[in-house]
Amino acid sequence: MACGHTVLMRLVASAYAVAQKAGMIVRRVIAEGDLGIVEKTCATDLQTKADRLVQMSICSSLARKFPKLTIIGEEDLPPEEVDQELIEDGQWEEILKQPCPSQYSAIKEEDLVVWVDPLDGTKEYTEGLLDNVTVLIGIAYEGKAIAGVINQPYYNYQAGPDAVLGRTIWGVLGLGAFGFQLKEVPAGKHIITTTRSHSNQLVMDCVTAMNPDDVLRVGGAGNKIIQLIEGKASAYVFASPGCKKWDTCAPEVILHAVGEFIGPYYIWKEEALRNNWKHNDPISH
């Protein structure tokens, strides 16, 4: 590991490699045929074998390389020995070629908090809506989301049996967002993306009040943000409690990193815009 690289860029490069491995785990669990589904709080709040394995992989891999890091995962998992095959020690060298924004160059490992959603869109995953699924790794510093990685395990899965599956999007504030082609919604179109599984009257009223040309009801916060940056939707509306920091940390970074260059063109729930990204929860490894 080159000593000249900053802590932040080394962490993002490692998170990229870890996210790639996470995508492989997500696909492997489906291929093996046993999703290991359990209900956490209700029929729409599910956990699968992939959620559990991916969280163990991400948290354990990053903790081994960055022992002073605070890592918080969505799933409440009991402490256990992690199988070596879940550990990813690599890093994405292309990220290390990028300059670290000067405001983050002196950040210490112990000052960073990582928020992990191992399988965003779990319900859709169990229903075979695979394009809704993402893996989210967000990095926060001094109360602000500053870097993030989003893996889409099933990107390109509808392109046929020989298609290469998966892609990873990443971004750092002050540097930009990478791994996708930025597009805008067709001229004159106002398209809203919103929740598929957690709607209520307030959400429906807000969407209706915006008089959209079309409404896309899909799963996963990460998936909805990708719809924004790739021009499939012009706004993401979810006027309701429910999103947590592991849902919003990585996507918020990608949106703001894009917005630094083309200006904000999205609507995000008020809670997320005001979110306090400081560590206030137990560490989950």
To the query of whether residue 48 is one of the catalytic residues in this protein, the response is no
Nearest partner of 266 among 240, 215, 229, 239, judged by Cα: 229
Structural element, H or E, at residue 169:
strand 167-172
Nearest partner of 204 among 217, 213, 220, judged by Cα: 217
To the query of whether residue 122 is one of the catalytic residues in this protein, the response is yes
Tell me the chain's radius of gyration from C-alpha atoms: 18
Q: Can you tell me the distance from the alpha carbon of 153 to that of 280, in angstroms, rounded to the nearest whole number?
A: 30
3-state helix, strand, coil in the chain (%, to 5): 40, 20, 40
- Of 48, 70, 122, 194, which is the active-site residue? 122
Instruction: Compute CA 156 distance to the chain's CA centroid, rounded to the nearest angstrom.
Output: 18
Q: Can you tell me the distance from the alpha carbon of 29 to that of 22, in angstroms, rounded to the nearest whole number?
A: 11
Q: Which residues of 223-250 are buried (b: 16+ CB within 10 A; e: fewer)?
A: bbbbbbbebbbbbbbbbbeebbbbbbbb
Is 216 annotated to bind ligand?
no
Is 86 annotated to bind ligand?
no
Q: Can you tell me the distance from the alpha carbon of 285 to that of 47, in angstroms, rounded to the nearest whole number?
A: 17
Is 119 annotated to bind ligand?
yes
Please give the annotated binding residues for Mg(2+), written as ranges.
Answer: 74, 117, 119-120, 247
Please give the annotated binding residues, written as ranges.
Answer: 74, 117, 119-120, 247
User: Catalytic site residues?
Assistant: 51, 122
